[in-house]
Amino acid sequence: MTIPVILETELGTFTIAVDDKNAPISAANFLAYVDGGYLNDATAYRIVTDSNEPEKPIKIEVVQWGYRASDERPAPFAPIAHETNDVTGIKHKNMTVSMARFAPGSAASEFFICIGDQPELDFGGKRNPDGQGFAAFGQVVEGEDTVRRIFGKAAAESDHPEVPVTFSRVVRG
């Protein structure tokens, strides 16, 4: 079963099909942020291209966005257990939605969308030295053009755009 989530941004709208059957932990986490209204006014604050992270040997292309926790604004929910995609079967293909993280078990409130196929983000991939990959849980099913417009805001010299793209409303469809 998939659950549709509609994301309205200043550049247009897109829809994610959240796969709660194959990725129940990551899907439940994302939906808790959606249902609590925590992703309204979120931003696409990081846009990685194959050229704006020259120090990284493994290149990827993603749009990262979500609820940015800070000392003044902590995440409302604890980090979740890491759901590897060798278990879920959800690969990092074009428009796959996944959990951003540092170490396994650190993902909470930040997400990314793959631009093109990104196999180095899968379990066993080399983007993260631990080889555990990232926890994919959904797919953009409508509005890929909007996601590509967001990706088009990437800065040439940094993975942080000069002006992040704002998400005004994120709700179940």
**Tens digit of each residue's pLDDT (9 = 90 or more) over 85-127:** 999 999 999 999 999 999 999 999 999 999 999 999 999 999 9
What pLDDT score was predicted for residue 71? 87
Domain containing residue 54:
2-172
Half-sphere exposure of 46 (CA within 13 A, CB side): 16
**Tens digit of each residue's pLDDT (9 = 90 or more) over 53-64:** 999 999 999 999
CATH number at residue 157: 2.40.100.10
Question: Are 134 and 92 within 8 A, CB to CB?
Answer: yes
Which pLDDT band holds residue 140 (cuts at 50, 70, 90)?
very high
Kindly state the percentage of the chain with pLDDT values over 90. Answer: 96
Angstrom distance (rounded) from CA 106 to CA 91 = 20
Question: Are 16 and 26 within 8 A, CB to CB?
Answer: no
Q: How many domains does one find in the chain? A: 1
